[in-house]
Amino acid sequence: MKIKTKVTLYTVVLVASMGAVLGGAVYYSVSETFYLQMRTDVDNRMRVAWDLLQRRGTPFHIKNNKLMAGDAVLNGDQEFVDQVSVLLGGTATIFQNDTRIATTIRMPDGSRAIGTKLSGPARQVLFQQGKNYRGDLNILGEPYLTAYELIKDPSGKTIGILQVGTKKTVYDNVLSAIFWRSVMVTFAGVLIVSLVVYVALNNLTEEIRQISHNRRLLLESTSEGIYSIDMNGKCTFINPAAAQMLGYEVNELMGKEMHPTIHHSRKDGTPYPLSECQLCRSFAYGKERQNDSGVFWRKDGQPLPSKYISSPLIDEKGVQGAVVVFNLAKN
């Protein structure tokens, strides 16, 4: 895999991960704020519903087994619950004790849920603890964000409940839309960053490729012999001129230890130990070495009188090898 492809992929993964983390944090914050606003909306709905209910009349009491608001009978008062629903949205219900006597909630067959009973955690809080209730609740199989408040007679006795609520699916759909928009924005951001990185890397690698090509062209076109070795004395580069002078093909010398291959003996044919090799000392001691009367040995075993300069290859980590430049020595 090419370097620019790797870098692009790493960048995509990094940006996508950061986008996912940031998007998740934002979505969590938005959802928390959203549901807090939902609860505030429910409280506001309840205040308006109470104001409308009290306009029906006060006090609240039971008469002839009917829930009364002053002289107004609330049993079957669909006009009131429909008015609340139209003004505020969502649902509205009046209970006499724990039984629905007016409601906008519909049964599966489309009829109003008159006569159905309150159940679940809201009933326990309202009737056993005598407290108002706020929270998520399933009403006849559907999730609602609801508020229930007690209706009491002048003596303080609980005689009914006023309820308002909104289907959670309404809010969930909005949150879902926010979530998918966030995903699309993150995806678009990742795509744009990836494209920018790819184009930038493509331009950069093209420049590097051109520089490398020009450098290699220069090295391969010169009439001087040039090769480099690593710290183990193995050939890491050799230009065609050097290979030709030594009687080799370039690929024959790449990766080979150069001292035992071309520099193993002195002019008189006696062995030239690696420990005494002046070429090797250039990277062993980090200093340039020069010899105007040296000898290399060709592939056919013939000596090649040479003059050479050996210079250490140094980077930020220190000496990494040596580069040797040589020419035929004049007799």
Backbone angles phi, psi at 285, to 5 degrees: -110, 0
Question: Residue 181 corresponds to which tokens in the numbers above?
Answer: 């928009």
User: Could you report the per-residue pLDDT of 271-287, keeping only the tens digit for each?
Assistant: 998 888 877 766 666 67
Cis peptide, bond prior to residue 121, ω within 30 of zero: no
What predicted TM-score, i.e. pTM, was given to this entire model? 0.50
pLDDT tens, residue by residue, 71-125: 999 999 999 999 998 888 888 999 999 999 999 988 888 899 999 998 888 888 9
Using pLDDT thresholds of 50, 70 and 90, give the confidence band for residue 53: very high
SS3 143: strand
Task: Work out the pLDDT band at 210, boundaries 50, 70, 90.
Answer: confident
pLDDT category, 39, cuts 50, 70, 90?
A: confident
Higher pLDDT, residue 173 or 144: 144
Question: How much is the CA Rg of the chain, to the nearest whole Å?
Answer: 45
Alpha-carbon distance 22 to 13, whole Å? 14
Sheet of 66-69: strand order equals 60-63, 66-69, 72-73
Burial letters 130-153, b for 16+ CB under 10 A, else e: eeebbeebebeeeebbbbbbbbee
Residue with tokens 């229930």: 148
Residue 169 has pLDDT above 90, yes or no: no
Please calculate the CA angle 86-91-92 and round it to the nearest 5 degrees.
90
| Amino acid at residue number 37 | Q
Structural domains of the chain, with CATH = 3-173 (3.30.450.20), 222-328 (3.30.450.20)
Question: Tens of pLDDT along 174-189?
Answer: 767 777 777 777 777 7
**Is 221 a residue whose pLDDT tops 80?**
no
Q: Are 242 and 326 in contact (CB under 8 A)?
A: yes
67, two tokens: 């829930």
DSSP for 94-137 reads EEETTEEEEES-B-TTS-B-TTPBP-SHHHIIIIIS---EEEEE
Residues 187 and 235: their CA atoms lie apart, in Å, by 48
Q: How far apart are CA 173 and CA 192, in angstroms?
A: 28
Q: Given the DSSP bridges, would you call strands 72-73 and 66-69 parallel, antiparallel or unpaired?
A: antiparallel
Distance in angstroms (rounded) separating the CA atoms of residues 261 and 252: 11
Give the side-chain half-sphere CA count within 13 A for 182.
Answer: 19
